[in-house]
Amino acid sequence: MHLTDPFVRQAQAKGYRSRAAFKLLGIHERDRLIRPGMVVVDLGSAPGSWSQVVRELLTVKGPEGKGRQVKGRIIALDLLPMEPIADVDFIEGDFREDAVAQQLSDRLSGEQVDIVLSDMAPNLSGVESADAARVMHVCELALEFSAQHLKPEGALLVKTFQGSGYSQLVERFKQQFSSVAARKPPASRAQSSETFLLGRRLKAGKRP
């Protein structure tokens, strides 16, 4: 399956670190999420394919003789190490720990964020109720971070899974965002329960 997967082959051809790049590209093509000048936070970034895509989308033609340059900021975070990517500010640590979340806040230096991306997925045990709780916890952390740091018109995109706890997560998104949509990009395998929730524009009481 892996060797015949067209997205795996395309990722190799384009130099992306994983096929997950095409999940973000598929959602971006529909929703136009990322534009030059934005501040983007990439949670659960390793091995780095989403950060690679963001960097491409923030790249503009520079002044004459300067070539192309990144306009905006990318801050990435993961529990696992990540090979460096030019123009990406990486923090290695567990986002569930207050000290690591504080590091991320410190890097922002009070700057508000245009979009938070979360491809985080906890290690799954195969026990549905326990796994649902882990997924919900990770998404809740992304929601809390977004409430603290997003611009009023900002957006949050998280990976989650259909099943136990999903409808409650959708409700949490609706409490926090004016617009909420589920996305299943072409690169997300049809047989997988994986889905992505996109929240846009913080409701008035949820703004930093």
Query: Where in the sequence numbering do the catalytic residues fall?
Result: 159
Q: Looking at this protein, which amino acid is placed at residue 110?
A: G
Q: Looking at this protein, which amino acid is placed at residue 180?
A: V
**Residue 120: burial class (beta carbons within 10 Å; 0-12, 13-18, 19+):** buried
- Per-residue buried b or exposed e for 141-167, using 16+ beta carbons within 10 Å of the residue's own CB: bbbebbbebbbeebbbbbbbbeeebbe
- Asked whether the beta carbons of 139 and 173 are under 8 A apart, the reply is no
